[in-house]
A and B are shown apart, each in its own frame.
Chain A
């Protein structure tokens, strides 16, 4: 199972919006709504941000939003804040009953 494709890095100034894409195939992102997003600050464990494409767990700020179109899912951070600087990973369930992660995207707040 190949990793989902994410851009290596994105950046933005405080208050701006940034979007991270996550491209898979018809066997994973395109087939299921079991797409999730994670935030991992340096030296920390990952934290769940988005589940089932677009649902935010309790405690996740509403500036984080998710969507999906075809084989590509997206995470948008609206109103970028300094504490949003971290690595972000997408993940999808697949038709071989496994999970696959994206390669990760480093978000830099300028």
Chain B
């Protein structure tokens, strides 16, 4: 059974940093790209980052480019999102999702990030 479990969400002040992690199991991790998708309270889904299976291709949404960094450790079956210079508008549930045929076919339950003073 495919499982994705996010962790690391917290309350952080504007300008602060946070690192999210996603532990994957139930599939061959290094054969799939991974995505991070977020959802602000009461709002829709927003794709924010993608990393390919071997980390050769990395893409970001304009809203986080230069502030967030996605990475993965295939030996540990995990993907991370380093978030710097956090803004109030980054407040959201952050989902980790497996990429398959340019879609996110499995999702974690998400981790909540709140940016507030």
Query: B residues 50-80 with Cβ under 8 Å of A?
Result: 50, 57, 59-62
Chain B residues within 8 Å of A45, by CB: 95, 107-110
Q: Which one of A48, A51, A98 lies within 8 Å of B47 (CB-CB)?
A: A98
**Is B103 interfacial (CB-CB < 8 Å)?**
yes
B103 touches A51 (CB 8 A): yes
Number of residue pairs spanning A and B whose beta carbons lie under 8 angstroms apart: 66
Looking at the assembled complex, report how far the CB atom of B84 sits from the nearest CB atom of chain A, in whole angstroms. Answer: 20
Choose among B45, B101, B102 the residue that contacts A46 (Cβ–Cβ < 8 A). Answer: B45
Interface size of A as a range = 20 to 34
Task: Mark interface residues in A1-34 (1 if CB within 8 Å of B CB, else 0).
Answer: 1010000000000000000000000000000101
CB nearest to B98 among chain A residues: A48
- Interface bits B77-117 vs A (CB < 8 Å: 1, else 0): 00000000000000000010000111111111110000000
Beyond A45-B109, A51-B103, A98-B47, 9 extra complex contacts between A and B, CB < 8 Å: A3-B44, A34-B103, A36-B104, A46-B104, A57-B105, A89-B44, A97-B59, A98-B60, A99-B102
Binding site for B on A (CB under 8 A): 1, 3, 32, 34, 36, 38, 40, 45-48, 51-52, 57, 87, 89, 91, 93, 97-104
